[in-house]
Amino acid sequence: MKVTAVAAYPVAYPEPNDDGATRSLCLVRVETDEGAVGWGEACTLWPEASLATAELVRGLADLVVGSDPVEVGATWERLRAHTWWYGDGGLACFAIAALDIALWDLRGKALGQSLLEMLGGACRDRLPALASGHATVGDLDALVAETASWVPGRAQGVKVGFGKRGEANLGFDHDRDVAFVAGLREALGPEPSIMVDCGVRVRWTPAEAIDRVRAFEAHDLAWVEEPLGHDDPAGYAALREAVTTRIAYGEREWNLRGLTRVIESGTCDVLGVDPGRAEGISGFIAACDLAHRRDLTTNAHAWTSGIVLAASLAVSWAMPSCELMEVQPFVNPMVGELVVGGAPQPTGGWWPRPHGPGLGVEVDEAVVGAYALGG
Query: Average pLDDT of 324-336?
Result: 98
Amino acid identity of residue 289, one-letter, is: D
Is the pLDDT at 374 greater than 90? The verdict is no
Can you list the alpha helix ranges (DSSP code H) found in 63-221? 72-82, 91-111, 115-118, 140-149, 174-188, 206-216
Which stretches of the chain are DSSP H helices? Answer: 47-60, 72-82, 91-111, 115-118, 140-149, 174-188, 206-216, 233-242, 256-265, 280-293, 306-318, 333-336, 365-370
Mean pLDDT of the chain: 97
Q: What confidence tens digit (pLDDT) does each residue in 102-149 have?
A: 999 999 999 999 999 999 999 999 999 999 999 999 999 999 999 999
Nearest C-alpha neighbor of 42 from the set 82, 102, 85, 109? 102
Burial class (CB in 10 A: 0-12, 13-18, 19+), 200: exposed
Looking at the chain, the whole-number percentage of residues with pLDDT higher than 90 is 98
Cα separation, 139 vs 221, whole angstroms: 22
Buried b vs exposed e over 129-140: b needs ≥16 C-beta within 10 Å? Answer: bbbbbbbbbeeb
pLDDT greater than 90 at residue 260? yes
d(Cα 244, Cα 216) in Å, to the nearest integer?
Answer: 11
| Count of alpha carbons within 13 angstroms of residue 131, beta-carbon side | 26
Cβ atoms of 271 and 294 within 8 Å: the answer is no
Q: Is the pLDDT at 50 greater than 80, yes or no?
A: yes
pLDDT of residue 355: 95
